[in-house]
Amino acid sequence: MTIPHFMKKTRLFFGRMLLKTHYRESSETISLVLSALLIGLLAGLSAVAFDRIVHYMGIGFGLLRGQLGGFWGSFVGVLIPIVGGLLITPVVTAWSPDVRGSGIPGVMLSVSNFAGRLPKRIIFWRPIASAISIGTGASLGSEGPVVQLSAAVASLTSNLMKLDDERRRNLVAVAAAGGIAATFNAPIAGVLFALEVILGRFTNKYFGSVVIGAVAASAVSRSILGPDPAFFVPDYGLDSPLELPLYFVLGILSAFVAVAIIRTMVGVEDSINRLKLPLWLRPAAGGLLIGLIGLLLPAVLGRGYAITGDILQGEIVGIGLLLGLVLMKMVAMSVSLASWHSGGIFAPILFIGAAFGAAFGQLAAQVFPALNVTPGAFALVGMAAVFAGAERAPMSTIVMVFEMSNDYRLILPLLLAAVVATLIADIFHPESIYHVMLSRKGHSLLRLRESDLLQTITVQEVMDSDIPKLDAEDSIKHLAEALLSSHHHGFILTTRDDSEHIVGIVTLSDLENSRQEGITASTPLREIARRTVHCALPDEPISEVLERMVRYGIGRMPVVDPKDRRRPVGFVRQADLAKAYYQALQRQRQAENDEKATRLRELTGQEIVEVKIRPSCPLSGKTLREANLPAESIVVAIRRGGKTVFPHGDTKLQTGDTVVANVAPGFSAKFRDYFVKVRAGGEPS
């Protein structure tokens, strides 16, 4: 073959490869856009359907109560939530318990722990249960059900399209963004909520498709329900910078309201649990309590959009009345959740925040009349602050309220109050309301568990007590020799007069820089050393030290005495911290496996046994059928090369495999014997 012919063939080969790669990437992009568009449209339709069903059910029952009036109107008002509880009982107790309460924690769990997989039954039962619950008076919102329904549709769509786990997570995030965007006509807030709460991280990989889904859902919602946001807000603004301290105080107080919401929810649920009601009676009993609350203050029933709008427009006056709405809405929401009614917590928390903010604003107007305070503006900011404090999602909350108000002049109070509320609430109750809901069901998010693991390992557990030191008067040549003769890439500098305290640090990069700058090899190290030395403390968690190393772009750090910050007691490297973390992660996963094995043994009496196939194992190279393992055991999995093989009779055992089996109680030792000493006939000797 001539050289020109070879070059032509090479160009053709790489041209085809480039064309295939471009075609594959284009196809994936088109698929991503189309699937995000589809899920966004479905989320928008779901939001519209929910809104109309709940709206007209509320109107119908309201007219019925109004027509009857007097005693019978009140009786029907109490009866309707009871009937609603009875209607949803078979759904929430037997057919689909997943649809109890807010669906957002379930979506968070599915994305974090199950690659976005949700049960298909949610698609059918969630709209039925939520429409009945909210329509008959449960003090819950429709945004959570819309998010979970859309997420379940996204999960099913991903399965039908045979998408991988990462794409499934992506589409579930798209569904969440679409549900929030369509419900509140706030597409930007929907995008941020999906990234901030559902995914728990901001990445370019998800951003584009999430935006497409939110835009599509909002377009559907606006075309059917109109362009107006969920609440109409007058044009409020910041009339004077002197109001900012008041908004700061509102943020602090809103944090305590947010914590009170969480603790009320937990307390009411514990109280109902202690009653030990039959399962079939719990939703109806909750309905009775909801109906009785409605007798005292009907405004707290249902989603409360109209009342929230009136509060924001300043049409509800009276500090006592507003605080009464705060308290009763808090209790009504908690009762609805504790009795397994189906609905979200967005709308109730926004209601509570608006009422509390309005009460604070009216009080401020009385105390500081010269400021001309507008209570409605404080209602809007209070809504954001309480919501951010309860859900720990300040960015999406600020943007949502900003989109609803459409007034940039309130951005400073919104930012100030929401961030202050989040920080203060995090001090007094570290878990958000969604994480509390998950933890009370025995769940935790894997992404949080791995993050928390970084907090459990301290620097002193992994630091090297062999501290690499050089004298500040040593030459650059001496540094080069020390780097070659040791495994260290950095040295602490001390002086001859004081060898116990740090005066600087030099690393391999400092040596390279000195050579590039033409500095002679006889130059003392103090001339090229860095005087600013970032240090770690022995009792610090490795998460904080790793974060500092990444921030400052360094790979090693001295560990110093807490009582004398210049005296080194150890040395730690970024690689050491990462290695320690992964070792701890392996220990945690092993502990989880041991816990599962214990639960299996307690429930069934069986034990889980793992046996490694050594090179000397007589069963290596045989199929499971040929191994003739005892009837008291069942091989459930084989771990091979980092993968899990689900075995059958023809699966051949290989050296290095780990055989996982369920065995009868007390049979584990005998089972292990089959892998170390076997007769010719296959029976243990």
- Token pair of 473 as six digits: 């008067």
- Token pair of 645 as six digits: 């093989």
Cα distance between residue 316 and residue 152, in whole Å: 39
The whole-number pLDDT of residue 410 equals 83
Q: Which of 80-94, 251-265, 462-476, 508-522 has the highest mean pLDDT?
A: 251-265
The whole-number pLDDT of residue 201 equals 66
Give the tens place of pLDDT for each residue, 658-677: 888 878 776 777 788 878 75
575: closest CA among 463, 438, 407? Answer: 463
The whole-number pLDDT of residue 589 equals 61
625: closest CA among 657, 659, 653, 654? Answer: 653
More confidently predicted of 26 and 420: 420
Chain centre to alpha carbon of residue 381 = 25
Cα distance between residue 517 and residue 527, in whole Å: 13
Q: What percent of the chain has pLDDT over 70?
A: 85
Q: pLDDT confidence of 267, banded at 50, 70, 90?
A: very high
More confidently predicted of 439 and 586: 439
Chain centre to alpha carbon of residue 234 = 34
What is the mean pLDDT of the segment spanning 520-537? 85
Give the tens place of pLDDT for each residue, 58-73: 777 767 766 766 666 6
The whole-number pLDDT of residue 541 equals 80
Instruction: Yes or no: say if 506 and 476 are a contact pair by the CB < 8 Å rule.
Output: no
Q: Quick one: DSSP state of residue 141?
A: B
Reply yes or no on whether the pLDDT at 594 is more than 60.
Answer: no
The whole-number pLDDT of residue 245 equals 93
Cα distance between residue 529 and residue 523, in whole Å: 11
Cα distance between residue 246 and residue 543, in whole Å: 36
Helix (H) or strand (E) holding 658: strand 658-663
639 φ, ψ to 5°?
A: -90, 125
The whole-number pLDDT of residue 343 equals 92
What is the mean pLDDT of the segment spanning 567-571? 88
Cα distance between residue 208 and residue 206, in whole Å: 6
The whole-number pLDDT of residue 681 equals 44
Look up tokens 């790793």; give the residue.
546
Instruction: Yes or no: say if 349 and 357 are a contact pair by the CB < 8 Å rule.
Output: no
The whole-number pLDDT of residue 402 equals 78
179: closest CA among 48, 335, 35? Answer: 48
Q: What is the mean pLDDT of the chain?
A: 82
529: closest CA among 500, 494, 499, 571? Answer: 494
Give exposure, 609-621, as e/b (b: 16+ Cβ within 10 Å). bebebeeebbbbe
- Token pair of 533 as six digits: 């030395």
Reply yes or no on whether the pLDDT at 682 is more than 50.
Answer: no
The whole-number pLDDT of residue 524 equals 87
Assign residue 70 a region: left if phi > 0, alpha if psi is -120 to 50, beta otherwise? left
Cα distance between residue 134 and residue 127, in whole Å: 11
The whole-number pLDDT of residue 602 equals 47
Neighbours of 274 (CB within 10 A): 8
Q: pLDDT confidence of 522, banded at 50, 70, 90?
A: confident
Strand pairing partners for 65? Answer: none
Instruction: Identify the weakest region by mean pLDDT among 123-132, 224-233, 441-450, 631-640.
Output: 441-450
Cα distance between residue 451 and residue 454, in whole Å: 6
What is the mean pLDDT of the segment spanning 254-273? 94
The whole-number pLDDT of residue 336 equals 95
The whole-number pLDDT of residue 452 equals 53
What is the mean pLDDT of the segment spanning 572-593? 67
- Token pair of 134 as six digits: 């909210």
Contacts with 285 (C-beta within 8 Å, 6 or more apart), sequence order: 85, 272, 275, 277, 339
Q: Quick one: DSSP state of residue 440?
A: T
In order of 144, 441, 470, 507, the CA distances from 484 in angstroms are: 61, 56, 14, 12
Give the tens place of pLDDT for each residue, 96-114: 988 998 889 989 888 877 7
Instruction: Yes or no: say if 660 and 606 are a contact pair by the CB < 8 Å rule.
Output: no
Q: pLDDT confidence of 680, banded at 50, 70, 90?
A: very low
Q: pLDDT confidence of 28, banded at 50, 70, 90?
A: low
Reply yes or no on whether the pLDDT at 17 is more than 90.
Answer: no
Cα distance between residue 242 and residue 72, in whole Å: 52
Reply yes or no on whether the pLDDT at 486 is more than 50.
Answer: yes
Which structural domains are found in the chain, ordered by start?
A: 29-225 (1.10.3080.10), 241-443 (1.10.3080.10), 459-579 (3.10.580.10), 605-685 (3.30.70.1450)
Cα distance between residue 357 and residue 247, in whole Å: 10
Q: pLDDT confidence of 24, banded at 50, 70, 90?
A: very low
The whole-number pLDDT of residue 498 equals 83
- Token pair of 472 as six digits: 């500040």
Cα distance between residue 306 and residue 320, in whole Å: 20
Chain centre to alpha carbon of residue 388 = 15
Give the tens place of pLDDT for each residue, 636-645: 788 887 677 7
Cα distance between residue 580 and residue 460, in whole Å: 11
553: exposed, middle or buried (Cβ count in 10 Å: 0-12, 13-18, 19+): exposed
Q: pLDDT confidence of 335, banded at 50, 70, 90?
A: very high
| Residue type present at position 329 | K
Cα distance between residue 668 and residue 685, in whole Å: 16
More confidently predicted of 616 and 138: 138
Q: What is the pTM of this model?
A: 0.66
Q: HSE of 632 in the Cβ direction (CA atoms, 13 Å)? A: 15
Chain centre to alpha carbon of residue 116 = 12
Give the tens place of pLDDT for each residue, 181-207: 888 888 888 888 888 888 776 666 668
Reduced to 3 states (helix: H, G, I; strand: E, B; else coil), residue 626 is helix
Look up tokens 């779901």; give the residue.
46
Instruction: Yes or no: say if 319 and 362 are a contact pair by the CB < 8 Å rule.
Output: yes
Reply yes or no on whether the pLDDT at 286 is more than 80.
Answer: yes
- Token pair of 392 as six digits: 């720990």
The per-residue DSSP string of 268-282 comes to HHHHHHHHT--GGGH
Reduced to 3 states (helix: H, G, I; strand: E, B; else coil), residue 115 is coil
The whole-number pLDDT of residue 262 equals 95
Do you know the residue count of the chain? 685
Give the tens place of pLDDT for each residue, 339-396: 999 999 989 999 999 999 999 999 999 999 888 888 989 999 999 999 999 988 888 8
Reduced to 3 states (helix: H, G, I; strand: E, B; else coil), residue 573 is strand
Chain centre to alpha carbon of residue 351 = 24
Give the tens place of pLDDT for each residue, 432-461: 899 889 888 877 676 555 555 666 677 888
Cα distance between residue 606 and residue 591, in whole Å: 18
What is the mean pLDDT of the segment spanning 521-531? 84
The whole-number pLDDT of residue 183 equals 84
Cα distance between residue 593 and residue 583, in whole Å: 15
Look up tokens 């910050």; give the residue.
565
The whole-number pLDDT of residue 65 equals 67
Instruction: Yes or no: say if 425 and 389 are a contact pair by the CB < 8 Å rule.
Output: yes
- Token pair of 180 as six digits: 């929030």
Give the tens place of pLDDT for each residue, 156-179: 888 888 777 778 888 898 999 998
Q: What percent of the chain has pLDDT over 90?
A: 25
- Token pair of 142 as six digits: 């429709």
Reply yes or no on whether the pLDDT at 29 is more than 70.
Answer: no
More confidently predicted of 274 and 231: 274
What is the mean pLDDT of the segment spanning 264-289? 92
Q: pLDDT confidence of 2, banded at 50, 70, 90?
A: low
